[in-house]
Amino acid sequence: MERNGDWRAAMAALGAAAATGFASGRALVIFFMQLGWAAWPGVALASALFGLLLGLCAKWAIRVDAGGFGALCRKALGRGKGRIVGLFHALLLAVAAAVAVLNAGELGALTLPLRHGFLWGMAIALMLAALLNLRGGRGMGAAGMALVAVAVLFYLGLALDPRPSRLYLRGEAVLTLAGNVPAMLLLALCHAALNACVAADAVCRRADSAVKPRRLGLLCAAGMALPLLCGCAALARGGALLLAHALPMVPLAARWGLFGFWLCAGFGYLCNVATLAAALGGLAGWLAIRRRC
């Protein structure tokens, strides 16, 4: 039972951070691949910090018996400071939810053979996010595990495919931050902090006596590192010029034809749905605390 509790909490956290953590090839370029060889230690550091931060969240949530990140802030920091931290966290979740639903709308406009595909894409994402939040968000654990597995297989397949990208560009890409260790440290910290903030409420809601914070942190770190490493390996296969592309995973997936297009679009859509569900669940918990106070 203890291991199951750790796994459920860790997979829910990874599902919450799917869209911000490892779904976007553009984010992988910004946080890691523009650093050249320093991308690989950057991935290791970002994943370790992500696991450490969530392990600490779980530890404090168990200690003060918090039912969410907002309650943890109130109980651990006091009413005044906790209210301020909780407000900033709620604002971050609101931004994450807005970005996720807009991304879902854009993917809907690209893929759905319907009028107003953008609105349909957003509506379907909101409906699926609501379903994931039923019964206390029990579906988030399974969703997170599935998304991590798909991410690893998808990116690993792109990395192992020896064929060149089907996108041909002229020019060259200069990685001005290549090998820059201070930039690597800063970007790794930003990546870990952003994703830990998005996933913190998912962890705190599931932190109980069946969860071991150290084991949870290790699972979160490993679960973040695997798709990041595979994603960076896929981008490295495409070469430096591919990193200048707005959607660098699309040219790589185009080698697989129509199947690659649908796989890329579907994976991105589901990652945004999972992050949207976690953000909406966190905002609902924050509003419930505000009403009680």
The full DSSP string for 64-108 is HT-SSHHHHHHHHH-HHHHHHHHHHHHHHHHHHHHHHHHHHHHHH
- Under the banding of pLDDT at 50, 70 and 90, the label for residue 167 is low
Please, is 180 exposed, middle or buried when counting C-beta atoms within 10 Å of its C-beta (0-12, 13-18, 19+)?
Answer: middle
Predicted pLDDT at 1: 38
Residues 6+ apart with CB under 8 A from 147: 14, 15, 18, 23, 267, 270, 271, 274
Q: Is the pLDDT of residue 168 over 90?
A: no
CA atoms within 13 Å, Cβ hemisphere of 236:
17
Q: Are 28 and 236 in contact (CB under 8 A)?
A: no
Q: Which span out of 82-91, 132-141, 148-157 was modeled with the highest average pLDDT?
A: 148-157
Task: Give the closest residue to 270 by CA, choosing from 14, 18, 10.
Answer: 18
Nearest C-alpha neighbor of 99 from the set 268, 293, 291: 268
CA 78/CA 171 separation, integer angstroms = 56
Q: Is the pTM of this model over 0.75?
A: yes
Of 246 and 186, more confident: 186
Q: Where are the beta strands (DSSP E) in 154-238?
A: none
Nearest CA among 235, 58, 225, 247 for reference residue 152 = 225
How wide is the angle at C-alpha 111 spanned by C-alphas 108 and 115, nearest 5°? 65
What CA dihedral angle connects 282, 287, 292 and 293, to 10 degrees? 100
Average pLDDT over residues 88-116: 93
Q: What percent of the chain has pLDDT over 90?
A: 62
* Pair of tokens at residue 72: 């943890």
